Structure 1
């Protein structure tokens, strides 16, 4: 496709190329971002378009890997750390979580889970520090007000679910830490601690 004076690959082709060569967690993150349905302006491409390219192209090294990535990809994944966390929890032996689950709390406030284990009724939040420090999130509130509001929100959610876990975005780089957080919060796992 044209881009200025250059020709570049389409988003679908780029996502497929990355799915064929990147390590699984990075490939899923890349594809999730390409197909993200809530992107301002809409997704860059769709799973259907990427699959169509895969099936219509000559067999290539990495096709099996790409199929695994496409089977795991989800257009609801809001950010790379959410995608990474989803991959990590499944690789650790936890069930596949739902993502971006919306729940209206008893107060009428809408809450959205980053990950949600439906059968276990276990809610997960993955927060970067920007949520508490970035002017984008707190233009009219101090960091303390943001933290207090988030704590009150968490308290409301905890009253409505059986389990609740929270980790910082960077903790997704440490699977053992995620295992400890989830199991410490009562989430059962089919595998032992890594």
Structure 2
């Protein structure tokens, strides 16, 4: 689905009409004001998901700047498909001006270099995957930083497709990137790359924090919820699980579980809604059929003398509840 067209006063004037018509249409509910002086059709705006609305806001902001902005932090993370909690409210951009680093309105400015570690994605400039990951790792809470790092290390399920990142000035400006990504985009980073970048951080505390996150991170994590779950398990002192453990089913097919506790012969699974609703999960079958297939898969694994414990986002985010759930399932604590 392509984004709705942004409309400026100059567009209306070129059509021989008074630009004040935009304000009138906005008051009538027919147009939506994306940014001061920039509008789009209300019906088109309302049809967009939150991530795509955010992307249209970024495009509108870009039209108001003399120099093309470089998006960074959480804004760049959306284009890279890195796992961040929720959608950012502000647009995050780089600035080289020490006195221009203040956040104003919905724009958060961060000090950085505009000529290093920058790539192009369609009409947008943004910090590269390594720079974006390190920026977030050093500023987010530990569990959120781990999720970002996990996703930066993860190899995309699909080698082709998705967003296209190129050196600045070489991208097709008409390529419309997606701000809503179900999986990380671009080649996976290496831990050695992240460690090298961490060594260049300006303060010891930032370096120590980044190293702790990178050492804990794993490219085998399958989702934001799985990353959070793993941090919660460590905080509660549970045994470190093996990620994406393989089982061979009766029909000869392979099945992987999110977490495997070998000592207890227990498989753990994070049940996020996106697992069942994602369009490319389950080969395009209906949600009902996916759930049935998941039940059959679990039964085949249980037949091998394996116990199962499942949890939801709400259960995992409540530490007391999550600890009780895992202990009752027989997961050993250190």
TM-score, normalised with respect to structure 2: 0.51
Conserved in 2, the CA contact under 8 Å of 1:105 and 1:111?
yes
For 1:161 and 1:90, locate their aligned partners in 2 and report how far apart those are by CA, in whole Å.
Answer: 26
C-alpha displacement of 1:136: 4.0
Q: Aligned with 1:153: secondary structure? A: helix
For 1:96 and 1:73, locate their aligned partners in 2 and report how far apart those are by CA, in whole Å.
Answer: 13
Partner of residue 36 from structure 1, selected from 154, 160, 168: 154
For 2:317 and 2:281, locate their aligned partners in 1 and report how far apart those are by CA, in whole Å.
Answer: 24
For 1:7 and 1:133, locate their aligned partners in 2 and report how far apart those are by CA, in whole Å.
Answer: 31
* 1:9-158 aligned within 5 A: 9-41=127-159, 43-59=187-203, 61-137=205-281, 141-158=285-302
Report the equivalent of 1:177.
321
CA RMSD of aligned residues (A): 2.4
Q: What are the Cα deviations for residues 73-127 of structure 1, in whole angstroms up to 9, with x where unaligned?
A: 0011121111111111111110111111122123313110111112322211112
Q: Aligned with 1:166: secondary structure? A: strand
More displaced stretch, 102-111 vs 134-143: 134-143
Conserved in 2, the CA contact under 8 Å of 1:28 and 1:69?
yes
Bigger relative contact order (CA 8 A; separation at least 6): 1
Alpha carbons of structure 1 residues 144 and 73: separation in structure 2 relative to 1, 3 Å: same
Partner of residue 2 from structure 1, selected from 112, 119, 136: 119
Alpha carbons of structure 1 residues 74 and 133: separation in structure 2 relative to 1, 3 Å: closer
Q: Aligned with 1:120: secondary structure? A: coil
Q: What are the Cα deviations for residues 132-152 of structure 1, in whole angstroms up to 9, with x where unaligned?
A: 445544676444433322222
For 2:301 and 2:244, locate their aligned partners in 1 and report how far apart those are by CA, in whole Å.
Answer: 14
Conserved in 2, the CA contact under 8 Å of 1:38 and 1:76?
no
Q: Does 1:163 align with 2:311?
A: no
More helix by share: 1
Poorly superposed stretches of 4+, deviation over 6 Å: none
For 2:150 and 2:256, locate their aligned partners in 1 and report how far apart those are by CA, in whole Å.
Answer: 18
C-alpha displacement of 1:7: 5.2
TM-score, normalised with respect to structure 1: 0.84
* Equivalences, count: 190
Stretches of structure 2 lacking an aligned partner (at least 5 in a row): 1-117, 160-185
For 1:88 and 1:95, locate their aligned partners in 2 and report how far apart those are by CA, in whole Å.
Answer: 11
More displaced stretch, 3-12 vs 58-67: 3-12
C-alpha displacement of 1:178: 2.1
Conserved in 1, the CA contact under 8 Å of 2:138 and 2:210?
yes
Conserved in 2, the CA contact under 8 Å of 1:122 and 1:187?
yes
